[in-house]
Amino acid sequence: MAESKQERDERLQAEKEFRIQFLVKENGITEAQARDLVEMIGIDANSLLREALEPRGFRRQHSFGGSVGFSVKW
């Protein structure tokens, strides 16, 4: 029997919570930061880890119609 919409929603919510707790524990980011990442990216583990491991303060800035610049804070 196929899972109902409610079962699917519960499973996805449990997966989100698991990913959030994993990111907090393994990457030393706050729960709020982990929740933001999950909301922006989804629950793909590789994408979440890549973003969580990105050095703090380093963000690539895209400028349409101009050059690409970097902002680095060490």
* Cα–Cα distance measured from residue 5 to residue 32, given in angstroms and rounded to the nearest whole number: 27
pTM of the full structure: 0.68
Which SS3 state, helix, strand or coil, does residue 67 take?
A: coil
**72: Cβ contacts below 8 Å, ≥ 6 apart:** 57, 58
Phi, psi of 60, deg, nearest 5: -80, 130
Q: Tell me the CA distances in angstroms from 39 to 36, 59, 72, one per residue in order.
A: 5, 19, 25
Q: Mind listing the pLDDT tens digit of every residue in the chain (74 residues)?
A: 789 999 999 999 999 999 999 999 988 899 999 999 999 999 999 999 888 887 654 344 433 344 444 444 44
